[in-house]
Structure 1
Amino acid sequence: MNKETRTQKIAEIMLRDAYGKQDILWHDRLEQMSVFEIPLEYLVYNKFNGRILSRTKTLEKQGRNVNPETKEGKFVIEELLWRSKVSKNEITKKDISIKGQLKIGIVTRDGIVIDGNRRLMLLNKLQPKYRFFKAVVLPVALEDDPIEVEKLETTYQMGEDEKQGYNPIEKYLKAKQIYNKLIAENAPENAIGQIANWMGEEKSEIQHYLDVMDVIDEYLQYLEYDGIYAMADTPNDGKEDLFLYLKKWLKTFGDGKESTKAFDGYEQLDVDDLKNICFDFVRAKIGKSYDGKSFRHIADGQRKNHFFGDAKIWKDFADTHFSIVSPAVKKINSEYPIDYNSENIEASLSNRDAKFRDEVLEGIAHNLEEHQTDLGYLRAADKPLELVTSARKAIDSIQQGHKNFSQPEVLERVEDLIQTLTGMLIKKSPEETLSLVLSLLQGIDLDSARFDEEIMLANIKNVSKAAYQMEKRIKAS
């Protein structure tokens, strides 16, 4: 049914007795408008409904025009609405099936649903039991007064009680969409003020929404998923929290002035590395792939509490991270190139990101864990007994009989550790150092150990010579 026919049919319905009355905020005045029962086939979904905005934007980015007036477009939107909250839709569908439509919708005079798209979708699924949609009819078509209609839609859909039911990204994307419309004729501050009024929020909260949206846009560009907002909207993965932390960190460290919460002398390149590393962690956050709380150790809080607060820890953490991720990204890009024309690009890119997670997760999670330990050591630098006790526990847990203990790189690390500890002991206590040397010499088992006789005799001679020289110096002092 085309627009002209819908408009005519709805106009005819409005000549009949109204079902009831409903107060509607229209042009900043509360007006009592009539409610009518409109046949379902006269109505058209709003493809930019706030619940599915990220998905319809994704389809548009692919060049796929979703026309809700066609059978195909209607089917696509119904699928998106259903999948946006399956469990909640199941409950509401059952409730409507028993009680009928309780909440009144709002439509334009040409049948575009402004408030009530989800209810309309459920009523369509319940046909032929229900054939009508109860709604107020606005005195305009959508294109007659787009800003006022947008205002009404936002007020009803994104009010404090309503937006709890929306997927995480939708409120950020909705704020950006409205801002882009208003900024053409308003100063930025005025545009933000209007959005705040429509959404029932403070202006600072709307600015926060826009800032988070900027981070999300950068994330999608980083992955070459520009405009494919479905890939930032994974409500069960906890990605939203990571975006919120990153937005805060970029404000703290990248606002043009050096923050005391970061290591001294950091540069914009370091902030860029921080951002890209965080994007990799966001990408790998699929399901319960890792505990999102550990993400905070990267850069949250005071300097002593995170990696970005110490130059040495940060450099080692970042270098290790990129050594893990860079070859994985190269492999993924080669084996799973992006198919922008995919019939289901969300599934295609989700599979691609899952491959990325599988390639890097163990490595980046271990890197995170290792540097959390380093951070703990740094914080305990003035508590030597605590650190020595922890080190002793770690050494005691080594299985010396394991075949890996004999590997050259392991023995090299052990020797390096001994030299480091010996150096610490020499500086503080020569007596204890000599006692340790004596103990080590006495502990050598010549009967069971394999050794090079020539090297051993040369070393014994050198030990004897060093001991003689030390004895002379002590007696002479």
Structure 2
Amino acid sequence: MENIDANKPRVIIDSLVKEIEENKTKVRGKTRPIYFRDDRRRNIERQVYSIPTIYLKFRKDNGRIASDIHSYEHKKGKLVEATDFGQEIIRGFLRAKDVERTKELKRTIVDRGQDEPAVITCDGFLINGNRRKMALELLSIEYPSESRYRTMEVVVLPGRKKNEDDETPPTYYEIEQIESAYQFHTHGKSEYTNFDKAISIRRKLDNGMSIEEQLSYDATFNMLSTTEKRKKIRQIEEDFLKPLECIDKYLDRLGRNGLYNTIATAKGSNKGQWQAFIDYYKSIDKYLRDPQRLHKLGISKSERGDVEDVAFKLIRSQKIQGVDKKSHELMRLIPKLLNNPSSKEELLRLRDEIKLKSYGETTKDAKDAVIKDLQWYRKNEEDIVHRVRKSYNIYLGKKESETPFELLKAALAKLNHENMNLQAIGKAKLKPSLRMAEQVAQKADEIKKEIYSLMKNHK
């Protein structure tokens, strides 16, 4: 993402300003107050205009599609929103977000028209109303004879200052303020996914807008006491920003830096990896960050990396067969498994048995990530399921009944383990090691003969 001085006036595209000026029509007798500067305090109402939707532009810094834009620009470079190509990319992201709510918005527009005007920059970029424009575009295709679907009511922000009495154009910071205000005053609009909301909150922080200011546009927040406000701000950090930091670390480990659209999410539910990272932070990571609180997890300082590694592998798995728990549920379970020495030992074996990232693995995009994650899980499924199930059963006090085949496989894995470096055997243990090797060979011969016999009997 590009670095922009948030306090500088937003760059204005003069050719687009001309299009807006030539095609806007005053809606007679209609004015509206908007969340801009001190308009509301001074009871200022601004003129509402009707503008053909074809001249209005989607804005890429739209919190609803924050993860998609961030991922796109990280992978392919700056998305120029003023171009037809840029607009089509943004339109695709908006179309894919919450299809059912878009249908609901279309029905609302058909029944009641446009309830409230959108807010646009002087050159036509929508600060709010991006999804409304998309809905109107779809309706104009469905009802080509209905002219009302080809225009949109808007309030236009100030442009270049030409006279002394003219207002100055908005800064990037002020535009972020307007978006925050409308985010907390939505009616029938699609809520942001919590993941997109986290990225949007952090983007505003990077632009100098504190969490408190972002929340100040919510009337219920302003009614809280100072103590309650601090608690709400901490909650935003715990529910959004800290889990996002964990995602950054996870993506870095996978070589997917900044590719947020490779994280499986589901809006407002306990599904998907976003919820897993929330539970990972709250149940595990906040203790890993503080050496004085490691005792809560029952681990030592040297084991912090092991715990993180195993947790990330389980999050990548998304769901472990045989335990019937999704990855976010496993994050809550891990502290309990770690506090039992035997179940902890079993779980942490995943640190060395499998790698979080396959050798030579690269990820192109979100669809490719789904395939890669599935391939990775299928490759490692047996080891993951075996270790997690065994650790869980130890914690529950169950004795796992392993089949002879599983026992043979485990024994072979131990013999082929990378730590089986015979040079490391001390002089005093050479003779007993030789006796054990002879016993292993003898037992192997016995097993081999018995299997041969079974094979003959099954012919």
Judge same fold: TM > 0.5, yes or no.
Answer: yes
2:122 aligned with 1:119: no
Which residue is equivalent to 1:254? 289
2:354 aligned with 1:325: yes
Equivalent AA in structure 2 for residue 231 of structure 1:
T
Equivalent AA in structure 1 for residue 263 of structure 2:
A
Which residue is equivalent to 1:41? 54
**Contact 1:107/1:135 (<8 A) preserved:** yes
| Residues 340-419 of structure 1: pairs in structure 2 closer than 5 A | 342=364, 345-377=365-397
2:313 aligned with 1:280: yes
Cα deviation, 1:299-319, whole Å, max 9, x if unaligned, reads 34xxxxx02223443232111
Which residue is equivalent to 1:181? 207
Q: 2:156 aligns with which of 131, 137, 142?
A: 137
CA distance in 1, matches of 2:205, 2:329: 34
Question: Gapped runs of 5+ residues in structure 1?
Answer: 184-190, 301-305, 378-389, 399-403, 413-477
Paired residue total: 365
2:177 aligned with 1:151: yes
**Contact 2:273/2:328 (<8 A) preserved:** no
**Contact 2:294/2:300 (<8 A) preserved:** no
> Displacement of 1:354 after TM fit?
1.8
- Deviation >6 Å, runs of 4+: 160-164, 286-289
Which residue is equivalent to 1:244? 278
**Contact 1:297/1:307 (<8 A) preserved:** no
CA distance in 1, matches of 2:34, 2:294: 49
Return closer, same or farther for 1:39/1:360 CA change in 2, 3 Å cut-off. Answer: same
Which residue is equivalent to 2:346? 316
CA distance in 2, matches of 1:406, 1:260: 38
TM-score under structure 1 normalisation? 0.68
**Contact 1:54/1:229 (<8 A) preserved:** yes
Which residue is equivalent to 1:20? 30
| Residues 78-93 of structure 1: pairs in structure 2 closer than 5 A | 78-93=91-106
**Contact 1:43/1:113 (<8 A) preserved:** yes
Cα deviation, 1:199-240, whole Å, max 9, x if unaligned, reads 676321332222122111111111111011111252274212
Which residue is equivalent to 2:257? 226
Which residue is equivalent to 2:163? none
2:225 aligned with 1:195: no
3-state SS of 1:120 partner = helix
> Displacement of 1:120 after TM fit?
0.5
Which residue is equivalent to 2:67? 54
Which residue is equivalent to 2:436? none
168-177 or 2-11, which deviates more: 2-11
Which residue is equivalent to 1:442? none
Question: Gapped runs of 5+ residues in structure 2?
Answer: 1-11, 161-167, 222-231, 412-459
**Contact 1:246/1:275 (<8 A) preserved:** no
CA distance in 2, matches of 1:204, 1:287: 32
Higher helix residue share: 1
> Displacement of 1:65 after TM fit?
3.1
Which residue is equivalent to 2:362? 338
**Quick check: which has more Rg, 1 or 2?**
1
Cα deviation, 1:57-94, whole Å, max 9, x if unaligned, reads 11111134322322222111111101011222233234
Q: Percent identity?
A: 21
Return closer, same or farther for 1:214/1:14 CA change in 2, 3 Å cut-off. Answer: same
154-163 or 60-69, which deviates more: 154-163
Which residue is equivalent to 1:449? none
Cα deviation, 1:10-54, whole Å, max 9, x if unaligned, reads 345667454622221222541322221111122111012111111
**Contact 1:58/1:227 (<8 A) preserved:** yes
Q: Which has the higher contact order (CA 8 A, sep 6+)?
A: 2
> Displacement of 1:181 after TM fit?
1.4
3-state SS of 2:369 partner = helix
Return closer, same or farther for 1:120/1:362 CA change in 2, 3 Å cut-off. Answer: farther
Return closer, same or farther for 1:32/1:227 CA change in 2, 3 Å cut-off. Answer: same
> Displacement of 1:295 after TM fit?
0.3
Q: 1:6 aligns with which of 16, 29, 33?
A: 16
